[in-house]
Amino acid sequence: MSDNLKRYCAIKKALISLRPTEPKGNQARHINTLAMIVAGVIGSQKCHLPAIAKKVPSDAKPQNRVRKMERFMDNDAIDCKKYYLPYADTLIRNLPPGPLVLIMDGSEVGRDCVMLSLNVVYKKRALPLCWIVVKGKKGHLPQDTHIELLEQAAKIIPQQRRVIFLGDGEFDGTKLLETLQSQGWDYVCRTAKNVVLTEDAQRFSPQDLILERGERLELPDVGFTAKEYGPVLVSIVWEPSWDEPLILVSNLDFLEEAYHFYQRRFRIETFFSDQKSRGFYLGHSHISNTSHLHRLLIGLCLAYLWIVCMGAWVVQTGRVALIHRTDRCDWSLFHLGLNWIEHCLNEGLPLRTRFPRSERRRKCVG
């Protein structure tokens, strides 16, 4: 059995086993094509269809394989609700107990398109739950788009789990914050130094306050923006090495807690870099159709989940030394997963097809 066929069979088995029901008819055919895309993406580490097609086991000519994937991407019946959220739901249910830390951010993908993604933090990675692709350059998207993405994720988040939402300065709109509050979720978002705050009927902004490097200031129970939304907590943190202070708005009670969680926000950058320059080169794609990109991302994100969960399993079961140095681990879960897949194919070992279900302590760069 060829490496391409082994990889494809393992992924197809995983996709079928994690679905709530056995796929049949058109759905089964779509799962087969999706497995082709995921396997081809992992094998080629590219998002271009011709490169993916070369790593797909099939008797058909490469161009015919490309056309099959193009039909998948052009099919309006293919959406995240049917072909991604069931796997994201499985992921959420198998994460360790404790707060779910969600991060929302955007990045340019394809040609003149932006991907707005909502990810859950797992170790030092941010795993994709859902996303929206729109035309345009990277910049602030409307709050309604943020809320639309939030509502997609809310459908698979257990009500009993505590959720902390993190976002940069794009996500400090009061309409979004009100939606998060009504959802029962905590939030910590960056905001501007000139934002209007209200305390005891007096209006001011963070830039009016005298603060020096190394200092922190907590402003509880203030009104936020000219609308006086709140009361909220506004925290100002100025680390000695920074050129300017960090200003956060939150519905948490204390600055230390808000700042502690916000430091995890940057983990979503690892997701975008793994999808682009350090992984699948999504930034080099010339696809400009937002629907086509959205469906291609189903395959890319499933590939990412499988690889990271594979890497986590390698760490949890003490197999790092089989593929990496023994004195320390300086590979991310993403690169551990990729190298373990390569190791299994080289050594004729079976490929694991399940998400991790247990946690064991072992230090590793995630």
104 neighbors 149 (Cβ within 8 angstroms):
yes
Amino acid letter, 59:
D
State yes or no: pLDDT of 363 exceeds 50: no
d(Cα 127, Cα 121) in Å, to the nearest integer? 6
d(Cα 89, Cα 18) in Å, to the nearest integer? 10
Over residues 354-363, the mean pLDDT reads 45
For the stretch 19-39, pLDDT in tens is 878 889 999 999 999 999 999
Q: How high is the pLDDT of residue 357?
A: 43
State yes or no: pLDDT of 339 exceeds 80: yes
Q: How high is the pLDDT of residue 284?
A: 84
* 330 half-sphere exposure, CB direction, 13 A CA radius: 3
Mean pLDDT for the chain overall: 92
Angstrom distances, CA of residue 11 to CA of 22, 42, 67, 79, 317: 15, 10, 21, 19, 21
Over residues 272-295, the mean pLDDT reads 90
Measured N-to-C along each axis, helices 290-316 and 3-17 cross at an angle, to the nearest 10 degrees, of 100
Q: Indicate the pLDDT class of residue 359, thresholds 50, 70 and 90.
A: very low
Q: Indicate the pLDDT class of residue 269, thresholds 50, 70 and 90.
A: very high
Q: Indicate the pLDDT class of residue 325, thresholds 50, 70 and 90.
A: confident
Q: How high is the pLDDT of residue 121?
A: 95
Q: How high is the pLDDT of residue 362?
A: 39
Tokens describing residue 204: 């001011």
Owner of token pair 């990889």: 7
Q: How high is the pLDDT of residue 283?
A: 82
Over residues 224-234, the mean pLDDT reads 97
State yes or no: pLDDT of 356 exceeds 50: no
Beta bridge partner(s), residue 204: 197
For every residue of 35-48, DSSP letters joined together read: HHHHHHHHHHT---
